[in-house]
Amino acid sequence: MNIPRLVVAAPSSGAGKTTIATGLIAALAARGLAVSPHKVGPDYIDPGYHGLAAGRPGRNLDAFMCGPERIAPLFLHGAAGADVAVVEGVMGLFDGASGRGELASTAHVSKLLRAPVVLVVDASSQSRSVAALVHGFASWDPEVRLAGVILNRVASDRHERLLREALEEGSGVPVLGSVRRSAAVATPSRHLGLIPAVERSAEALRAVADMGELVAASVDLDEVLALARTAPPLTAEPWDPAGEVTPLAAGAVRPRIAVAGGAAFSFSYAENTELLTAAGAEVVPFDPLHADALPEGTAGLVIGGGFPELYVRELSANGQLRAAIAAFAAAGGPVSAECAGLLYLGRELDGLPMCGVLDTSARMTERLTLGYREAVALEDSMLLPGGARLRGHEFHRTVCEPEHGERPAWGWRLPTGLHLEGFAGAAGAENVHASYLHLHWAGYPQLAAAFTAAAAAHRAG
């Protein structure tokens, strides 16, 4: 299958990848093309902007959490029907999972996709040195095809001329565009990165439109498309959620699984709900900031990540929904919660009452906990048997006290020793699985099948 595609990378974080990648997606979509947006790594926020720009879900390509063998299939699944795909990288081009070489780096994913790479270079403090920088990145790994450069934060016509002359003389990599320093668009940030698109509504739409206009005026889109079309065909078969899970038995009633969303719980991977649907569930989204009850007939509840600390007063004030969730868990209803979901299920967050399902309290801190984790399930649970091993990701500034219950969800090794974390069931809520660990269920599709089966059993019971 051949889908024109390219990867947008940079020498380091902060060079402007997200602005350029989102702008490319928006500018190409404005030409009437169907653009498939993708993001290397576990980040939930950038794909939200990509999705606004493309009009279709932004999808993650994470070789650590899903395995390198699934990257091309997941890409082909997400890009089905697209005219072109734009893949935004993570960190610097060659930066991957710590201590694991190229694994999960932008370079690694570009090779798995056989995609040309466009390097976004922050040129604000250099001129001729840009050629040495690009030459180094182009020659470091011969298997990575660095095929173009977009200069970002260029000061003037003279500055641009010096940069182009140096690159023509010393790198052999063509310049596809030049974006002026004064042409920055507003993408507000806070403690964990960009503000998610779902929280900004009209502002986010305006920002995406601005990015598209900026890139259309500064980058040769015809050259970009020509470059994307040089990507050779991929021989992998598209990932199919229906082929990854064992569905419910014939004649079984589909359980309704409520999935929290909205501004407070905006972190989710599209493949997770696709797997639940393939396993036989009816997936129903709801917004805990506004709903005063779970969707009628809920037999399972999924609460993913997000920023509940920013909406703690509204979540706490919604006592009807908190009580409904507590009653659902107490009645044996299966609940799967990650990060923000863990905080919401605890007794309190920053001193305000939450659902009270778990005997833990959370508070904001100044310390960022961030990184990939190789975890082992320490207890049998509705999701996994004890001893199962998975790869996930942590990303938070909160702490829970205590960090785990009598039945911890996970254990993993840290430099300080074995770390126990999360809740694989609790007294009066045996079917609750809650943890800080974010998982991409495409890497472990049995999670969706097990959760759907638990929901079906609860409904039947």
Write down the catalytic residue from 66, 339, 355, 400: 339
Residue 355: active-site member: no
Give CA separation, 159 vs 130, 179, 185, in Å: 11, 11, 21
Using CB atoms within 10 Å of the CB of residue 340, give its burial: 0 to 12 exposed, 13 to 18 middle, 19+ buried. buried
Class of residue 124 by CB neighbours under 10 A (exposed 0-12, middle 13-18, buried 19+): middle
Tell me the C-alpha distance between 362 and 316, whole Å.
13
What is residue 397's three-state secondary structure?
A: strand
Rounded to the nearest 10 degrees, the angle between the axes of helix 106-113 and helix 71-78 is 70
DSSP code, position 238: P
Gap between the Cα atoms of 253 and 256, Å rounded: 9
Cβ neighbors of 350 (< 8 A, separation 6 or more) are 309, 312, 362, 363, 364
Q: Which amino acid is at 403?
A: E
Q: 417 in the Ramachandran plot: left (φ > 0), alpha (ψ -120 to 50) or beta? A: left
Measured CA to CA, the distance from residue 59 to residue 47 in angstroms comes to 6
Give me 234's structure tokens: 């991929």
- In degrees, rounded to 5, the angle at the alpha carbon of residue 393 between the alpha carbons of residues 392 and 397 is 150
Alpha carbon distance 292, 323 (integer Å): 10
Q: Is residue 3 a contact partner of residue 24, using CB atoms and an 8 Å limit? A: no
| Contact criterion met (CB below 8 Å) for 445 and 346 | no
Q: How many Cα atoms occupy the beta-carbon half-sphere of 460 within 13 Å?
A: 11
How far is residue 56 from each of residues 59, 164, 258, measured CA to CA in Å? 9, 35, 22
What is the rounded CA–CA span in Å between residue 459 and residue 461? 5
DSSP H helices, 176-294, are 197-200, 202-218, 221-228, 270-278
> Which tokens belong to 334?
């299966």
Just list the catalytic residues: 339
